[in-house]
Amino acid sequence: METRINWMANEVGSKWARYIISSNKVITDSALPKEVQELVKIRASQINGCGGCLDMHTKDAAAAGESTVRINLVGAWRETTVYTDAERAALELTEQGTRLADSSGITDEAWANAAKHFDEDQITGPGGHDLHDQRLQPAERDHPDTGRRIPARTVPLTRTSPRARRRPRDDPGSARGRHPRTLRRTGLMNTALWIVTGLLTAVYLFSGFGKLFVPPEKMAAMAKAARWVLDFKPGTLKAIGALEILGAAGLILPAVLDVAPVLVPLAATGLALLMTGATIMRIRRGETKAALGDAGYLALAAFVAIGRFALEPFTG
């Protein structure tokens, strides 16, 4: 395939192309997760039939760490379980905004579904990518290996009344599976939960290993608040330390490894119960300040438990 026009060799074209390309940086630098941006670009390029765009966007996604399975299944996302609900909402929004020629546009249902996962700035991302990429293809075509940005027609992102929309022929079915992409979630709540989780993990690992390997007498001599250890048998202290280490591991490893992430809120609940006992023990000993400290850790553990059970669960 021969190139129709070299934008950068044309004075007017080069100015126009620079403005269009620079406008994409606003979206690229936005709060829309990068993995969602790449999936949206790939899906829009598939619908537009743009080989150069697909070549570039699939390579960009792979270079960013996206898995081959998720890249290859974008065109059949309805029939798979490897995308989060947020990613599925973004792909639906992209499809409806790109298929104006054979659909009724973006339905209120699709818009409302996307709004559950993204704010207005983030929702602009799928439509903005369409607007940016689709400006170039009518005039320029090139071989896929060149990696040029050459998507198809221009499509505005607008809301429309909910009307029956024909299902794309290349996207049969409507199965909506779930797959926990635990490290790819965004938002203030998720960020706060990760920060608190990291803090608790560090605290309980330090505390747990101390109870396992430091003699009680030495621990009691380190601080006045640690004298309570002398009231317990060494075996009991080691058991408490082991529970703290298990709780710390349960807070972080299931999420990082994306294996049974439901264990995270369960571990947080266990640590909250442990700190409930610690707080009661402090109160009985008359250690008010230490009791307040333990109550603080109790509150943080409860925050993670509630957050990962209900507010920002890993399982979507």
The pLDDT tens digits of the residues spanning 28-62 come to 777 788 888 889 889 988 988 888 888 888 998 89
Mention every residue, 6+ apart, whose C-beta is less than 8 A from residue 267: 246, 247, 248, 249, 250, 251, 254
Q: What is the pLDDT of residue 76?
A: 93
Q: What is the pLDDT of residue 156?
A: 37
State how far the Cα of 143 lies from the Cα of 257, in Å rounded to an integer: 39
Positions of the chain with pLDDT under 70: 1-3, 7, 103, 125-186, 315-316
State how far the Cα of 155 lies from the Cα of 91, in Å rounded to an integer: 15
Q: What is the pLDDT of residue 166?
A: 37
Q: What is the pLDDT of residue 82?
A: 92
Mention every residue, 6+ apart, whose C-beta is less than 8 A from residue 100: 155
Q: What is the pLDDT of residue 72?
A: 93
Neighbours of 96 (CB within 10 A): 24
Token digits for 306?
A: 């509630």
Report helix, strand or coil for 106: strand
State how far the Cα of 194 lies from the Cα of 47, in Å rounded to an integer: 37
- Find out whether 107 and 96 touch, Cβ atoms under 8 Å: yes
Q: What is the pLDDT of residue 100?
A: 73
